[in-house]
Structure 1
Amino acid sequence: MIDCPCCATKIEGYALPDQLHKLRDGEVVLYKRPESSRWQARFKLPDGAWHNLSTKRASLDEARRIAGEAYDEARFRFKTGQSPVSRRFKDVARLTIAELENAKAAGHGKAIHKDYKQALEKYFIPYFGSKHIDLINDADMMQFEAWRAQQMKRSPAASTLLNHNAALRRVFETAIANGWILHAKVPAMRAVGRKSERRPSFSYDEWRKIGNTLWRWVDKATSERSKQIRELLWDYVMILANTGMRTGTEAYNLKWKHISWAKDRNGDPYLSVAVDGKTGKREFVARHRCETFFKRNQSRFPELAKMSFDELLKAKLDVYVFRMRNGKRSENLYKVFNDYLVEHGLLKDKQGDSRSLYSLRHMYATTRIVIDKLDIHTLAVQMGTSVAMIEKHYSHLTAAMAADVLAGRRHDPEKAAEGRKAKAAANKPPA
């Protein structure tokens, strides 16, 4: 590394006089790094800032042409109020994805980053890919919204749009940080989507049917692998339904070390479960019957079965809970549960909406509100969501629960007359 002869900064690089060339009155400098045969370029703009780029050429004449064209374009962009140097959207998006993956590898990534990556790869990169990021404007965004709705075959929900906007915002933040777009040039992002519909759940009778048929369905498996997946599904369904845990990241990554005994204010024990999912790390209370389901899961593994349940929890094993007997983890539980629902006539609810494993979480919320009379603030903490989200999807239940109080006692004229007669007789003075 030596001083650049044109400015006070350092250049990684060149060692011989013939590896340094100037053009445009010294405003553009070409140089080679010792380990490379290709020419690098630096150029200076009217604001005094120097910019770097690779010409990707070994030929000096070609490198001169490319560097000169890049310099002229950068000057034009500077004069017209644009970022002097830009990048294509796909390059910035892939850099952003790499940053998200690096954060995950370093241990401080978030579960939502998986959704960001999916949105970028499935929608934004295919549409904006080759367009320079600083040239994307409000009109482009509106055209993209129409294209995305066409790809989805429906208008996306507002929650989906918020996730997509967050992903796109990360890309623009990367571009701003690298000087590839000016902050003022970032286009507007809208999040006006269709309202989220009431989510499909299971009624009490339907849940009883699941409880009475799922274990029999396990025994009907026609192969060892099928039986192991169905066994795993049985545990998975029962635990989801009795915890409100999110299927996917929260449940899939649950390990035995995350489960422990705790005591309530009366000193009675309960199972506390720690998860790391969509809303970050949290702990929740499992219903007492989950002890049976966790023990059943434990009994399928010889290395775990030799311990008591208490010993297993105290061991804090770094071992996944939801595994098949052979120790492998299955990502087919969504499909297997769908097959079960179809076979038992439980796939569609009364509105014709398809149920899934996520419907167990909604059933949990419904049951806690209707049967346990749990207040929505406590339920929100338990489920790792906001009070606003609980109110949005389950407020109809709290209103129904309070209907008997709000309406008062039903008026019955005959009973009222009988009541008046009884009261008068009771108040009649003795003869």
Structure 2
Amino acid sequence: MSYGTTTINVHKKLKLDKRANSENWYARLTLDNGKRIVKSTKTDDLEEARERALELYYDTQARIKNNLPAQTRKFKHVAEYAIKRMQDALESGTGKQAYKDYISALRLWLIPFFGDTDVDKIDYKGLVEFDAWRTQQNKKPFSQSGINNHNAALNRVLDEAELQSWLVKSMRPTLLNKGVKSESRGSFTDAEYKKIYTALRTWHKKTKNTKAAATREVLRNYVLFLANTGVRHGTEALGLRWRNVEWQDKGDERYLVVNVDGKTRKRSAVARDTVEGYLDRQRKLNPKLQDGTFDELIAARSDEFVFTTRLGDVANIASLNRAFNALLDVMDLKTGADGKERTLYSLRHYYATRDLKRGITTHALSKQLGNSTAMIDKHYSKYTPLLNAELHSGRNMRADKAKGAVAGAQSVVDAAFAMHADGLLEDEALLAALGVGRDGYVVTEEIAMKALDAKRAEKINASTLMLILNG
């Protein structure tokens, strides 16, 4: 392989190359494992270049002797390798949705701080300084989940560096997470949810800004979709294309299924029946999809994004958040009675609490939401007393008691007529057992029917029948 127009041997495994497009000499060092280190000497003077090449040689030998990587790279360069690898995986369909969050964390936080640091020089001290800088930039401590996301992104870079031999395993730092313990977001009551979707019917008419109005139209359908599918707000919902929505048959019934690329894996979520209407209305907002029917669109497996405005733009997170937060502020619903702020993500919690209240098991709910059962228990166990309020309040006990009393009364009637039919009770005793003549006596349909049957069988006379029927 040609490395330049001129080559000078400096050492057995060290050469100097003069490239066609540069006046400077380049040092080329071949390692024992066959890999090469090529580095500019940044000079066109041969003797000076020779000295710098030898410095590279002896420095590399020293690093290897001390169990250090033969060469290293700046963090930003390694990060770009890691980002490209994740982007390639996403494009091929083998990557996780979380990769998008890692890429964002690298671009917004990790590269700006560690960019010019050699990847093998990142240590505990550097991580502590990064945490302090991150907190200052964020103006408040990061949550544990946010820091976990940063740590996962950083690990992707360290993995890449180790793979390329720019970092040895023994030098990898132990990552920190002293973030604030994450708390679940607020939810909505049924009454608040109804108030929100009712207001959304006209919310788009209360602005003169064309783009804002278009976003609010989508917001109406988006809110109803989130609250009736449990799909995550953001990447999961906004990444949906019409080809991800399908009808699936089960016996004689068909169900609307949404196939989402989840936080950790792909999954299928069954939408509530009402979602068909919301999505059909959303379809009609897209200028390209206004013709035909909803079923025809589903069958066509269109590559168009679901949540597209009438202007032809895909709705974005920032615009939807802004519109929804403005609505909550106007309605004084931004903060719940528990002091927690509500966001679009709260609609996922609303979906979950409604399902739990209906008696859906945490296992079944975890499959729908794409969470582990343990995570469902962790975030929703605190709702259990309220969801089972009728049990804790004792009302069910009173109801059971009332049912028992009715059942008991019915068993007395059965026993009284049975004993009378067997000749064990006289007419007067039968009347006494039934309570005829006592305050509160009520002729039920069952007592009347049994009395008539007894008269038909000639077990009682007309006088006794009338006493039973009239009390």
Tell me the TM-score normalised to structure 2 length: 0.78
Alignment match of 1:274 (pick from 231, 256, 259): 259
Alignment match of 2:285 (pick from 288, 296, 300): 300
SS in structure 2 at match of 1:304: coil
1:248-259 correspondence runs (5 A): 248-259=234-245
Counterpart amino acid of 2:105?
Answer: A
Instruction: Report deviation, 1:410.
Output: 7.9
Superposed CA offset, 1:341-383 (max 9, x none): 112211122243322211111111111112x221111111111
The reply on whether 1:355 has 2:342 as its aligned counterpart is yes
2:3 paired residue number: 13
Aligned-partner Cα distance in 2 for 1:391–1:282: 20
Aligned-partner Cα distance in 1 for 2:275–2:37: 60
Aligned-partner Cα distance in 2 for 1:234–1:40: 62
Alpha carbons 1:347, 1:354 under 8 Å: kept? yes
1:9 paired residue number: none
Q: CA 1:328 to 1:398, structure 2 compared with 1: closer, same or farther past 3 Å?
A: same
Alpha carbons 1:40, 1:52 under 8 Å: kept? no
Instruction: Report deviation, 1:160.
Output: 2.1
Alpha carbons 1:55, 1:66 under 8 Å: kept? no
2:312 paired residue number: 327
Superposed CA offset, 1:208-236 (max 9, x none): 11122111222323244332221111111
Aligned-partner Cα distance in 2 for 1:252–1:81: 48
Counterpart amino acid of 1:355?
Answer: R
1:29-428 correspondence runs (5 A): 29-33=15-19, 37-43=23-29, 51-55=36-40, 57=42, 59-61=44-46, 62-265=48-251, 267-301=252-286, 303-331=288-316, 332-370=319-357, 372-402=358-388, 404-405=390-391
Q: CA 1:67 to 1:158, structure 2 compared with 1: closer, same or farther past 3 Å?
A: same
Q: CA 1:364 to 1:101, structure 2 compared with 1: closer, same or farther past 3 Å?
A: same
Consecutive aligned runs of 4 or more in structure 1 exceeding 6 Å deviation: 406-412, 426-429
Instruction: Report deviation, 1:298.
Output: 2.5
Aligned-partner Cα distance in 2 for 1:50–1:226: 56
Greater gyration radius:
2
Alpha carbons 2:106, 2:154 under 8 Å: kept? yes
Alpha carbons 2:285, 2:308 under 8 Å: kept? no
Superposed CA offset, 1:291-330 (max 9, x none): 1111212233465333122222111111111111121223
Aligned-partner Cα distance in 2 for 1:117–1:85: 25
Q: CA 1:72 to 1:145, structure 2 compared with 1: closer, same or farther past 3 Å?
A: same
Q: CA 1:274 to 1:76, structure 2 compared with 1: closer, same or farther past 3 Å?
A: same
Aligned length: 408
Counterpart amino acid of 2:193?
Answer: W
Aligned-partner Cα distance in 2 for 1:251–1:411: 43
Instruction: Report deviation, 1:176.
Output: 1.0
Instruction: Report deviation, 1:399.
Output: 4.3
* Higher alpha-carbon deviation: 100-109 or 253-262: 100-109
Q: CA 1:145 to 1:300, structure 2 compared with 1: closer, same or farther past 3 Å?
A: closer
Q: CA 1:352 to 1:405, structure 2 compared with 1: closer, same or farther past 3 Å?
A: closer
Alpha carbons 1:30, 1:40 under 8 Å: kept? yes
Aligned-partner Cα distance in 1 for 2:4–2:397: 96
Superposed CA offset, 1:167-199 (max 9, x none): 111111111111111111111123453322131
- Which consecutive unaligned segments of at least 5 residues does structure 1 have? 2-11
Aligned-partner Cα distance in 2 for 1:233–1:244: 16
SS in structure 1 at match of 2:27: strand
Aligned-partner Cα distance in 1 for 2:281–2:397: 52
Q: CA 1:192 to 1:388, structure 2 compared with 1: closer, same or farther past 3 Å?
A: farther
- Which consecutive unaligned segments of at least 5 residues does structure 2 have? 417-424, 433-471
Q: CA 1:131 to 1:399, structure 2 compared with 1: closer, same or farther past 3 Å?
A: same
